[in-house]
A and B are shown apart, each in its own frame.
Chain A
């Protein structure tokens, strides 16, 4: 009948109003930030971080520069380490990501062939100074693989299983195998192992 649609709609809103008082868990969907925070999803991405196994020296990154090349706004700046003779080592001396430029797209995570860089869940990263405090150097970006397992168990579990299946042991294993290679001086200088 004419007008009953309006009354039906109004009864729905009245029920909403009453429910918000008598049963707030269902009636109110507000999360009172910053006292309470909502749990983020596992695939939530905000800012990247670098993974190390064990100690910060064992970082997985080899300074291949792929993520810096693929980054759309070009916020990653990598300078590889050089040893005493000036040969490039497979480790970054400088790895800077600028939070003011980073657009949180996650492409660096997708293209890294060494499982070194992943997207973190931290979003409360405000600073008072725009230019110096928002530039994250290597030390601030390094986090252990246990942190990775804690925030993204599915992805980390899958990646670790893949690495174990392929027999990738990481930089610690490679450092141990290096002295054995220099014992035979007659051999030509070998390229370092392709998967480190």
Chain B
């Protein structure tokens, strides 16, 4: 099974590489619709990362919500603002190089901080097999209050959207 493990790790690294490339493409491509498509690829890569961490439910929910609904909304927004893809609108500016250099410097410190912290991992939690049923039970037992608050927020958003989108009478 060693070869299979190696193949699996190679696959996961390839997925991560694709995700990072797509993330770079999101901010550098000229046509904004292509940027949205690259963002879809990033979200799919994140779903692949979830699968590799044995959280299949999250991966599928990620695809269902992010790619299926939120990206559709983003693409509608792109499409309805008609001037945004114009060639006359500048997509880059002249501060590219210096911001890249400063970001590299920040990255050095940040990576050092991340590597020096001792993340206390709980082996019991890591080995637990959390599936949808356990999540649902947690929502109803321990986390019922945040669940209800989020439901109220969503209802307020829905009602607000309907009011804002209603035809003038």
- In the complex, A touching B (Cβ < 8 A): no
User: Which residues of chain A have a CB within 8 Å of any CB of chain B?
Assistant: none
| Chain B interface (Cβ < 8 Å from any Cβ of A) | none
